[in-house]
Structure 1
Amino acid sequence: MIPISIIIILLSLTPRSNSHSFSSRFLDSILQDHAFRSIPPHRPKTGVIYDGTPPSNLTGVSISALRLRTGSLRRRGYNGYKQFIIPNGVIEHPFVERVILVYHNLGNWSDVYYPLPGFVYLSPVVGLLGYNAVDLTAKDLPELDLRWPEDPVLIKFESLNVLPSGSSPVCVFFDLFGGVAFDKVVNGSVCKSVSQGHFGLVVEDISPSPAPSPEMLPENPIAGAGGGGGRRGNNNNNKGWWVGGSVAGGVALVALVVVLVLWVRWCRGAKRIEKMTVAAERGDPLAVAAVGSADVPVAMGTRTKPVLESEYVT
């Protein structure tokens, strides 16, 4: 269990993967654009919450936009922006005259964009991000750096999933740079933060790991007759490695035999050429046979028997 006495535990050893971090940041950009569209382009009201419409492929996500003067936000804060209670004393960087606070509620998309292995979400992930309000048609805006050094922002979670028996909920915080931190819960379902980001209530997943389904194991009646399912799976894996190694060994053996045969043929040809070269250099005499009273050289044999011209005369 995570010790609740620790205020914040940074998960520096288990950061989220770059792919998930990239996808969540891309989602922030898309939701910023759609939240800005909810604000009327002509004479937008300050201090009014405008509910936006998310993309059609993100059913279950809700977004809102709140336009405020930074001076007013710094002096009075804002009480009751959805789940957020925003205190006074905010510090923004860089300085802007007006700020738009964009609210996210990811609903059933929380696990998709903010996966947290080993934990189960009791609440949807909600977010609060600040942008410069100078241009209501701007897209891909960078977030302002909003911080509350005096009093933290409070996030009240009301609709929660059933808490597993013997488990204690904790707050989880996702910053804009892929970092993750845990904090203790206040008053049962309230989280605190001194900066903007995304928040949720989670609990450790204490459910046992599911056993492998029988359908996933290869069917092998012979191997199954000798032992249990787990051992049969190991035998099948070993058999697979053995078959693969046998095939690879057979291919290597055939290639070696072919190389040896070619090498032997090459050696024989080289020796034959060497013998012919030696014989030509020594000038071996032809065989001698007696013809009449004289010895004349003769060939050892011919393919065509010589024929006298008289034989062609009929």
Structure 2
Amino acid sequence: MISFPSFCIIILTFLYPFETFSLQPITQQEATFSSRFLDSVLQDYAFRSFSGHRKKTGVIYDGIVPANVTGTTISALRLRSGSLRRRGYFNYKEFDIPSGILVNPYVKRVILVYHNLGNWSNVFYPLPGFVYLSPVVGLLGYNAANLTGKGLPELDIRSSENPILIKFETLSVLPNGVLPKCVFFDLFGGVAFDHVENGSVCTSVTQGHFGIVVEKTSPPPVVAPVPAPEKSHGSEYPIAGGNGGGGGGGGGGVRKKWLWIGGSVAGGAVVAAAMVVLVVAVRRVVGRKRIAEMRGVAESGDPLAVAAVGRAKVPVAMGTRTKPILESEYVS
């Protein structure tokens, strides 16, 4: 339901011309319910851009917005419906309008009103859970028969062949690991999402308001800091008393510190010495075991005969067990 202040603003705006009635700043709650009212106001101001000019078809006229929505921009473009259907219109701000556009109900001439809501995008089209990377831009069609009309109804502008392209030139910095999405707002309060083409292009088959958004990422959980140990005497490293008597608490702390360091060094030396002794003992055991194995192998072999050669005794090979046979003995 529209709040009472918003209802009063709407009624008074239509009763009095904008030149004599200044709108109050719009709060976010009021703006949420007044996006359609904003379309009506911007239609009136866009039509005013034709005043003072020779009304040319196919020429873009930039309008002036009311002071209470400074930061938005509007433009108006008048085209013949037949020409719009046959040839379309390209580079109308962010919009490329292809051929094959149908206007319902049919009118001889149509005015396409362009909106760029700038910093008002999130106010008039809030999206909880999303962040805008682009401003919200709009394209709405009206009957060009009455250039002084206010609060005119929109025509149904729809593409029958190729889609309308919305090419956003500049986008905010895209967070890492997040995919952008096109968002579409129709004239009846509906919202739809679609993928982004070529990094910054959205497509549509009908009129409305468009933007590029990303989902908000939840911040990483905050790890609670480990509480520091309480200090009994206020200082991390107390200074010893100047009299050198050793009775002060600070002197005792310093002595404890050095005793702890000396104990650590002595303990390390003992461990290193124990490791050296262990390595030497293991090597001795392994060496003795190898020598015993070699002796066993030597003792298990066949003993050699010993013969005296001079004063020395040397091993000699035993006699041949198989008696040799001469070749002549094989001849019978």
**TM-score category by the smaller chain?**
0.5 to 0.7
CA shift at 1:99, angstroms?
0.3
Look up the match of 2:152.
141
Distance 1:132 1:21, change over 3 A: farther
TM-score (norm: length of structure 2): 0.56
* Higher RCO structure (Cα 8 Å, ≥6 apart): 1
Look up the match of 2:141.
130
Identity of aligned residues (%): 72
Look up the match of 1:200.
211
Whether 2:157 is the aligned partner of 1:157: answer no
> Alignment partner of 1:57: what SS?
helix
Look up the match of 2:61.
50
Tell me if the contact between 1:98 and 1:133 (Cα under 8 Å) persists in the aligned partners. yes
Could you tell me which amino acid in structure 2 is paired with residue 120 of structure 1?
Answer: V
Aligned length in residues: 195
Task: Say which one has the larger Rg.
Answer: 2
Return the match for 1:106 from 101, 117, 128. Answer: 117
Q: Could you list the per-position Cα deviations for residues 209-250 of structure 1 after superposition, in whole angstroms to 9, with x for gaps in the alignment? A: 999xxxxxxxxxxxxxxxxxxxxxxxxxxxxxxxxxxxxxxx
Separation of aligned partners in 2, 1:72 and 1:210 = 58
Look up the match of 1:35.
46
CA shift at 1:19, angstroms?
6.4
Tell me if the contact between 2:71 and 2:118 (Cα under 8 Å) persists in the aligned partners. yes
CA shift at 1:42, angstroms?
6.0
Whether 2:191 is the aligned partner of 1:183: answer no
Look up the match of 2:86.
75
Separation of aligned partners in 1, 2:34 and 2:205 = 24
Look up the match of 1:87.
98
Distance 1:62 1:42, change over 3 A: closer
Separation of aligned partners in 1, 2:33 and 2:42 = 14
Could you tell me which amino acid in structure 1 is paired with residue 193 of structure 2?
Answer: F
Separation of aligned partners in 1, 2:30 and 2:142 = 24
Could you tell me which amino acid in structure 2 is paired with residue 54 of structure 1?
Answer: V
Separation of aligned partners in 2, 1:105 and 1:112 = 13
Whether 2:179 is the aligned partner of 1:172: answer no
TM-score (norm: length of structure 1): 0.60
Look up the match of 1:215.
none
What CA RMSD, in Å, does the superposition of the two structures yield over aligned residues?
Answer: 2.0
CA shift at 1:22, angstroms?
3.4
Separation of aligned partners in 2, 1:57 and 1:209 = 39
Could you tell me which amino acid in structure 2 is paired with residue 112 of structure 1?
Answer: V
CA shift at 1:43, angstroms?
3.5
Tell me if the contact between 1:41 and 1:136 (Cα under 8 Å) persists in the aligned partners. no
Look up the match of 1:230.
none
Q: Could you list the per-position Cα deviations for residues 184-213 of structure 1 after superposition, in whole angstroms to 9, with x for gaps in the alignment? A: 1111100000000000000000043999xx
Could you tell me which amino acid in structure 1 is paired with residue 91 of structure 2?
Answer: G
Look up the match of 2:11.
none
Q: Unpaired runs of 5+ in structure 2?
A: 1-28, 223-332
